[in-house]
Amino acid sequence: MKDHLPDRLDLYAAAEAGRVIKGRIPVARLARVVPLTASGAGELDVILELDRDQEGTRYLAGSIKGVLELQCQRCLDSMDYPLNVRFRLGLVQNPDDLQYLTDRYEPLIVTPEPAQISEVIADEVLLALPIAPLHADIDNCREVAADYDVSANAQRDNPFAVLKQLKQKT
């Protein structure tokens, strides 16, 4: 078992050899994830297990744990988002082989070139992120939301008033 994450790895060969790799990766190295965070700060703990199952399918199973700093879409303040991702990817070298992959695996097409590990991790993190991150407790957002409270008695212009006037002319 290796105690650091390599930059690149031949996933197919590592699965053939039955490797387990674990380590930490800075969020700043996940180029596609950083723009979705409030800051690129922090690190994620990653465990990757590459092996073959009893049917001979080569797979990459793993977990990613850590905390990302996201921006709450209700109050626009930063918030901690705990990340605990588990995944199981079936490695296929040819798109035609996707039909032989069982339902317990998501497909990952591998090429003869070594895969960039940060990209594989970024894919899994992106799939785990919420579409619109919000504080779990609305009380965290109430102070900001109170500034935008519109009085129920406030008089608003009817956007269809112009149409009503045109209809009355005919």
pLDDT per residue of the chain (170 residues) written in tens, 0 to 9: 556 789 999 998 999 999 999 999 999 999 999 999 988 889 999 999 999 999 888 999 999 999 999 999 888 888 999 999 999 999 888 888 788 888 889 999 888 899 999 999 999 999 999 999 988 877 777 666 566 555 655 667 787 887 878 878 76
Domain annotation covers residue 107: yes
pLDDT of residue 165: 80
pLDDT of residue 162: 79
Domain annotation covers residue 140: no
- The domain containing residue 70 runs over which residues? 8-135
What are the strands of the beta sheet with 106-109, ordered from one edge?
20-26, 43-52, 58-71, 78-92, 106-109
pLDDT of residue 4: 75
Domain annotation covers residue 83: yes
Give the global pTM: 0.79
Q: How many residues does the chain have?
A: 170
Domain annotation covers residue 155: no
Domain annotation covers residue 159: no
Domain annotation covers residue 148: no
Residue 142 has a CB neighbour count (10 Å cut-off) of 13
pLDDT of residue 150: 57
Domain count of the chain? Answer: 1
pLDDT of residue 2: 54
